[in-house]
A and B are shown apart, each in its own frame.
Chain A
Amino acid sequence: MAETFEPKITAFVCNWCTYAGADLTGTSRIKYQPNVRVLRLPCTGRIDFMLLAKAFSRGSDGIIISGCHPNDCHYTSGNYHARRRWMVYRDLMDFMGIDTERITFSWVSAAEGAKWAELVNEVTNKLRAMGPYVEYKEMVAAGVE
């Protein structure tokens, strides 16, 4: 029997909103697909774009980045800075030909357990259909004699 591809997804989430929201998903016993590895940061403002690059270079097929809704950041403005960073990063990545369809940004609050599950399922299904990020993996292996 052929092995079907299961995407590896790395999620960078903020402690106060999305991580708590994901926790709520669990305590609410809402099921979602297990492909995501959740990395907890204090705030989306802490997310350096280099972390996203690391996720891809370590074998992720897709990335989720999620935090508090604008105006609700636990540290007041971290998510505003993050949003600006992502707006520029996305343009640059697209210009360099990186597949921005594989990167999903969202705001998920601590009360949105259902939204988290919905988001993860949707992203997982989308990435499963897209297949592994072969281009990137080939790039990671290239250029060494």
Chain B
Amino acid sequence: MELREKAKQLLESGAVKAVLGFEAGTHGRRRPLFARSAEAAGRLVWDQGCEQNLASYVTRKEVKRLGRMAVAARPATLRALLQLMAERQIKEEDVLPLALDDAGQVTELASAQAIEERLALEPQQIPAKDRELMDRLKAMSRQERFAFWQGELSRCIKCYACRSSCPMCYCGHCTMDCNRPQWVPVPSHALGNQEYHTVRAMHLAGRCVQCGDCGRACPVDIPIHLLTFTAEESVHAQFGQGAGASAKLDYALSTFRPDDKESFIR
């Protein structure tokens, strides 16, 4: 299998210290594998189940310590890596993205430019079922939407699986961790859940690469990714900027145009 051969090659040549990909897990799931030997590389798999955005690992100190890492990458992973480079969280030379298509063909992307060129081949699109649910929600009345989200968020237990699985939530001291002042209530009561998810979506607006990992990670199946998708779409529609397009930072909420158009300010 091409990925396994490539991984063994990269490890043997010393070009990378580890290959971050996927292996078979419980119940037919796929889970991250840090292959650091030829034997481990032999366990790498690549298929439709390999959905997780592995870019969330490249900013973790335990992973950085391993050294230069190859990362099996879908488009969303590539976008996340570019965005992390733009935000100065990783250096181009620290990671070697291995772009993989559905057929399992591997392409090494050794520079930010190579990543940008690869991404330009495929337009960014959110999955059809997420689009359908977002459209259905937008067609509801405001009260219906409120009831929907209150119902979904009532299951939230504030485990932060969403935050922990997001490649862009790399802050060592998250705003939720701040207690002087305690901006957002920690408990998972209705207000605490509402405010946490609002804060997270706003902090991701213009930075979210729409991988959907937050929703996938949620142990109680809240479609939480729809909030960050919405914030990202709002930024893109209104300012033409978005996450993961370039290794050069273009963050909508720290830039502006004097003629930004809105219709609601009196």
How many A residues face the partner with a CB closer than 8 A? 38
Q: Which of A49, A86, A95, A107 contacts B227 (CB 8 A)?
A: A95
Q: Which of B183, B195, B201, B252 contacts A92 (CB 8 A)?
A: B201
In the complex, residue of chain A having the shortest beta-carbon distance to the beta carbon of B263: A87
Q: Are A97 and B149 in contact (CB-based, < 8 A)?
A: yes
Q: Are B234 and A92 in contact (CB-based, < 8 A)?
A: yes
Q: Which A residues from 45 to 82 make CB contacts under 8 A with B? A: 49-50, 53, 57, 70-71, 77, 80-81
Residues of chain B contacted by A88 (CB below 8 angstroms): 202, 205-206, 231, 234-235, 238, 252-253
Q: Is B146 an interface residue (CB 8 A)?
A: yes
Q: Is A3 an interface residue (CB 8 A)?
A: no
Residues of chain B contacted by A89 (CB below 8 angstroms): 202
Q: Are B198 and A80 in contact (CB-based, < 8 A)?
A: no
Q: Are A106 and B147 in contact (CB-based, < 8 A)?
A: no
The CA of A143 and the CA of B151, in the complex, are separated in Å by: 11
Task: Jot down 23 A-B pairs with beta carbons below 8 A, ordered by A.
Answer: A80-B257, A80-B258, A83-B260, A83-B265, A84-B253, A87-B260, A88-B205, A88-B231, A88-B238, A91-B231, A92-B234, A93-B198, A95-B230, A96-B145, A96-B149, A97-B142, A97-B143, A97-B144, A97-B150, A105-B266, A119-B266, A140-B191, A142-B190
Chain A contact residues: helix, strand, loop or mixed: helix
Q: Is B64 an interface residue (CB 8 A)?
A: no
User: Chain A interface (Cβ within 8 Å of chain B)?
Assistant: 49-50, 53, 57, 70-71, 77, 80-81, 83-99, 104-107, 119, 135, 139-144
How many B residues face the partner with a CB closer than 8 A? 48
Chain B proximity of A114: nearest CB distance (Å): 13
In the complex, residue of chain A having the shortest beta-carbon distance to the beta carbon of B148: A97
Q: Are A70 and B258 in contact (CB-based, < 8 A)?
A: yes
User: Chain B interface (Cβ within 8 Å of chain A)?
Assistant: 137-138, 142-150, 154, 183-184, 187-195, 198-199, 201-202, 205-206, 226-227, 230-231, 234-235, 238-239, 252-254, 256-258, 260, 262, 264-266
In the complex, residue of chain A having the shortest beta-carbon distance to the beta carbon of B254: A81
Residues of chain A contacted by B205 (CB below 8 angstroms): 88, 92
Q: Are A83 and B198 in contact (CB-based, < 8 A)?
A: no
